[in-house]
């Protein structure tokens, strides 16, 4: 029930957002296409930045209401774990090619990379005590490379990877 770094959400809200996203990912993994990719693992994110002017409140409130339907936060975690097992199994069998997803066409490897970054950002949103559970270093590196690709003009090689990802995805401001 503690607050997360995602504006307007408690940690349980963030878990529900991730679960819903993973369900969308499952659907996306079956949307194969012969079209050429229109975005890659980094440029996919710039399409979200372009829509940043849209009112985020309805989405924040929908997620909070959905999270409140669970009688206990542990139930939301169990549901997330179930969906996560489905994603792992399906991702292990995904063929190389392209997928139609959210109005874009993206190569399967880039698709999986975008989700690795999404999960990394939301793991950081949980703002868990040190070591509970630890974030995979490769995931943080991938997220950092994405931020640097999106914002090469403000990339600071001396900045800690976690801080760069939090800043790059709007969770903290530059000091």
pLDDT of 153 reads 84
Which residue reads 């490379």 in tokens?
A: 145
- 100 by DSSP, 3-state: which? strand
Give me the tens of pLDDT residue by residue for the chain, a chain 175 residues long: 899 998 889 999 999 999 999 999 999 999 999 999 999 999 999 876 655 557 888 988 999 999 999 999 999 999 999 999 999 999 999 999 999 999 999 999 999 999 999 999 999 999 988 778 888 999 999 999 999 999 888 888 899 999 999 999 988 887 6
C-alpha closest to that of 120 among 18, 42, 48: 18
Q: Which of 157, 111, 55, 151 lies closest to 169 in space, CA to CA? A: 151
């Amino acid at each position: 029930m503690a607050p997360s770094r995602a504006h307007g959400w408690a940690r349980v809200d963030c878990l529900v957002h991730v679960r819903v996203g993973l369900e969308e990912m499952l659907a996306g993994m079956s949307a194969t296409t012969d079209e050429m990719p229109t975005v890659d693992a980094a440029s996919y994110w710039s399409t979200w930045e372009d829509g940043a002017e849209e009112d985020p409140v309805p989405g924040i409130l929908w997620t909070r209401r959905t999270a409140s339907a669970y009688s206990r936060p542990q139930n939301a975690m169990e549901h997330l774990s179930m969906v996560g097992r489905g994603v792992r199994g399906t991702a292990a069998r995904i063929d190389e090619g392209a997928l139609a997803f959210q109005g874009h066409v993206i190569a399967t490897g880039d698709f999986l990379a975008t989700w690795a970054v999404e999960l990394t950002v939301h793991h950081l949103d949980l703002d868990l005590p040190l070591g509970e559970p630890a974030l995979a270093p490769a995931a943080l590196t991938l997220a950092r490379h994405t931020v640097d690709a999106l914002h090469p003009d403000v990339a600071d090689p001396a900045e800690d990877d976690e801080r760069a990802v939090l800043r790059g995805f709007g969770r903290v401001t530059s000091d």
